[in-house]
Amino acid sequence: MEIGRLDATGQAALVAAGDATPRELVESAIERIDALNPRLNAVVTTAYEPALAAADGGPAGPFGGVPMLCKDLVLELPGVRFTEGSRFLGQRVLDLVRARRALPARRAGGARQANTPEFGMSPSCEPLLFGPTRNPWNVACSTSGSSARRHT
């Protein structure tokens, strides 16, 4: 089965069994982001180099080596734009001191940041800063639910 079609548990099992390396998982995630994101607008900030470097460090913990995608609302990485989905914060880049305080940043290595409603204040992901995220199963539907229609 294609790595990108497995959930985190399936990907972790591949690493644990020695059937895939963490780097292969990250490379697969990068390929899927590059292929699907132009249509879906789900990933707003990429940090591919730190993700690859973290993967080369080897797995740690039960999900070690499994790439993760966090909302641009929770993941703070040094030197990476952190907007919380707001136009007001659209160009904010965190310094090393502030980013080190963020627990997800310490665990994520070089994760990618996903689109988010402004300050997480809406149940649908249609921020003015980056535009709406589209549902991968049906781009005419909202990501907030399988039957929720996106406003057009």
Closest CA to 128 of 139, 120, 118, 113: 118
- Where are the chain's structural domains? 3-120
For residue 129, what are its two tokens?
Answer: 């800063």
- Residue 5 CA, chain-centre distance (Å), reads 16
Roughly what angle, to the nearest 10 degrees, separates helices 22-40 and 48-56?
A: 160
pTM over 0.85: no
**Residues 117-126: pLDDT tens digits?**
777 777 777 7
**Residues 34-91: pLDDT tens digits?**
999 999 988 888 888 888 888 887 767 888 888 888 777 766 776 777 787 777 776 7
- Type of residue at 111: A
Phi/psi region, residue 115 (left: phi>0; alpha: psi -120 to 50; beta: rest), is beta
What element of type H or E holds 114?
A: strand 112-114
For residue 80, what are its two tokens?
Answer: 């990476």
127, 115 contact by CB (below 8 A): yes
